[in-house]
């Protein structure tokens, strides 16, 4: 029987609750299907590790992950450690170290979920946001001088390379081409950011010629937020920069009902390195340790992980079990207005998988 080796990195906060839940569901799926199995190796990196060792993960941490088939990640973020240390020391180290340059974020209104877009049901909102995940606003280029003095200055340079922009746009066009509507919206802010964003627009026009069957349009990021709320059905696949897509995808998740539902994959499309799957939410300090975390974002991320492994039938089976759970308000966690716990939702998904 085929064995997939998966690194699991729960990280911090509710990551420690939802990642074990994801593992439980994947094991139940494998047991029910009986055609492959999972071998999980768990890594205790994150805030606690930082308190002991002064770093979020060991210096040779990437080597420990390199041979894995995929990575299941929770969240990096600890209430007692500055966010830029936890983020750069763990999640971005893995995303950038393994050149996972495409961050793919599907959004749908799942059955039974009542989002703020009351007039919309599952058919009116079906998006995939493709986020550039290796450079741009999160390139790490910049610095501070004269710290604490009146003449202090600081920069975060949004560095875009032609190679980086071409590859993410090509990925997005390809993804749009694989979806029924073959529609891509390229989001930039090229009226104000007149160097890198203008280059994006130009490269988008150039790459569009490789995909004559894909209809593409462009939208400024501020207008894109309004369009997501007012005309959601006019959008399908969306591509944007690291920062813009980070923001748009939290909005997308909220419009689909909750941040707790939304999944993501940090993908190395060339498959040189393992790709990493995680819910888009963070450590959720306000609810951590209480069993209130919605595990659906992690379960949906597991669906993406299965698709990436080349197990589409198993992915479909898991998604169907998730949708059965969301359809039942008695199985909604507090973020969805319900009272179910993380454990109850997890058990319900497992039960549907075994049925
Ligand atoms: P957050 O996503 O942790 O929480 C925002 C709000 O959404 C909170 O009210 C939280 O309770 C709620 N929420 C999030 N996930 C939920 C779930 N599964 N079920 C129910 N409710 C949920 O964002 P934040 O508060 O901005 O960040 C907290 C920490 O997480 C920070 O340290 C931040 O840097 C980190 N963070 C990490 C990642 C990551 O590792 N990928 C992503 C975002 C934030
Ligand atoms: K996360
Ligand atoms: Mn984010």
Q: What distance in Å separates the CA atoms of residue 354 and residue 344, rounded to the nearest whole number?
A: 15
How remote is the CA of residue 281 from the centroid of ligand 3, in Å?
A: 7
- In this prediction, residue 123 carries a pLDDT of 81
Ligand 1 centroid distance, CA of 340 (Å): 19
Identify the nearest ligand to the CA of 245 by its number: 3
Pocket test for ligand 1, best of 73, 77, 279, 297 (most atoms within 8 A of CB): 77
For ligand 1, say whether the CB of 93 is within 6 Å of any of its atoms.
no
**Cβ contacts of residue 245 below 8 Å, gap of 6+?**
103, 105, 129, 130, 131, 132, 187, 238, 239
pLDDT in tens, 61-95: 999 999 999 999 999 999 999 999 999 999 999 99
Q: Is 244 in the pocket of ligand 1 (CB under 6 A)?
A: no
Q: Is the CB of 260 under 6 A from ligand 1?
A: yes
CA atoms of 157 and 192, how far apart (whole Å): 15
pLDDT tens, residue by residue, 222-231: 999 999 999 9
Could you tell me if the CB of 282 is within 6 A of ligand 1? yes
Structure tokens at 281: 């939410």
Q: Is 91 in the pocket of ligand 1 (CB under 6 A)?
A: yes
Backbone angles phi, psi at 98, to 5 degrees: -105, 15
Residue pLDDT, tens place only, 123-179: 889 999 999 999 999 999 999 999 999 999 999 999 999 999 999 999 999 999 999
- Are 280 and 263 in contact, with CB atoms under 8 Å apart? yes
**Intra-chain end-to-end CA distance of the chain, in Å:** 22
Ligand 2 centre and the CA of 27: distance in Å?
21
Around Cβ 206, how many Cβ atoms within 10 Å?
A: 11
Q: Please give the structure tokens belonging to residue 223.
A: 């207008």
Q: Does the ipTM surpass 0.85?
A: yes
Q: Whose CA is nearest to atom 44 of ligand 1?
A: 282
Q: Is the CB of 332 under 6 A from ligand 1?
A: no
Q: What's the pLDDT score for residue 355?
A: 87
pLDDT band at 271 (very low <50, low <70, confident <90, very high): very high
CA 346 from centre of chain: 20
**Cα of 118 to ligand 2 centre, how many Å?**
27
Instruction: Tell me the pTM.
Output: 0.96
Q: Dihedral through CA 88, CA 45, CA 301, CA 286, nearest 10? A: -80
């Amino acid at each position: 029987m085929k064995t997939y080796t998966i690194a699991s990195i729960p990280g911090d906060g509710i990551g420690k609750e939802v990642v074990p839940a994801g593992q439980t569901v994947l094991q139940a799926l494998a047991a029910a299907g009986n055609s492959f199995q999972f071998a999980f190796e768990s890594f205790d990196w994150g805030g606690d590790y930082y308190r002991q060792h002064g770093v979020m993960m060991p210096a040779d941490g990437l080597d420990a992950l390199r041979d894995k088939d995929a990575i299941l990640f929770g969240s990096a973020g600890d209430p007692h450690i500055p966010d830029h240390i936890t983020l750069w020391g763990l999640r971005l180290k893995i995303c950038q170290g393994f050149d996972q340059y495409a961050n793919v974020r599907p959004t749908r209104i799942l059955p039974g979920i009542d989002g703020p877009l009351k007039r919309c049901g599952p058919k009116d909102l079906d998006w995939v946001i493709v986020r550039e995940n290796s450079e741009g606003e999160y390139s790490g280029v910049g610095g501070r001088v004269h710290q604490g003095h009146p003449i202090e200055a600081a920069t975060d340079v949004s560095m875009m390379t032609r190679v980086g922009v071409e590859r993410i746009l090509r990925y997005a066009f390809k993804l749009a081409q694989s979806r029924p509507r073959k529609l891509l919206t390229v989001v930039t802010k090229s009226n104000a950011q007149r160097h890198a964003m203008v280059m994006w627009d130009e490269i988008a026009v150039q790459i569009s010629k490789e995909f004559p069957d894909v209809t593409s349009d462009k939208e400024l990021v501020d207008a894109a937020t309004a369009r997501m709320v007012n005309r959601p059905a006019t959008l399908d696949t969306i591509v944007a920069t690291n920062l813009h897509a980070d923001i748009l995808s939290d909005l997308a998740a909220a419009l689909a009902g909750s941040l707790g539902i939304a999944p993501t994959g940090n993908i190395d499309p060339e498959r040189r390195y393992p790709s990493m799957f995680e819910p888009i939410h963070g450590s959720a300090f306000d609810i951590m340790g209480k069993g209130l975390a919605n595990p659906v974002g992690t379960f949906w991320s597991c669906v993406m992980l299965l698709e990436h492994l080349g197990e589409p039938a198993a992915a479909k089976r898991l998604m169907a079990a998730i949708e059965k759970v969301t359809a039942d308000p008695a199985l909604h966690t507090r973020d969805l207005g319900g009272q179910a716990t993380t454990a109850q939702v997890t058990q319900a998904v497992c039960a549907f998988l075994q049925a």
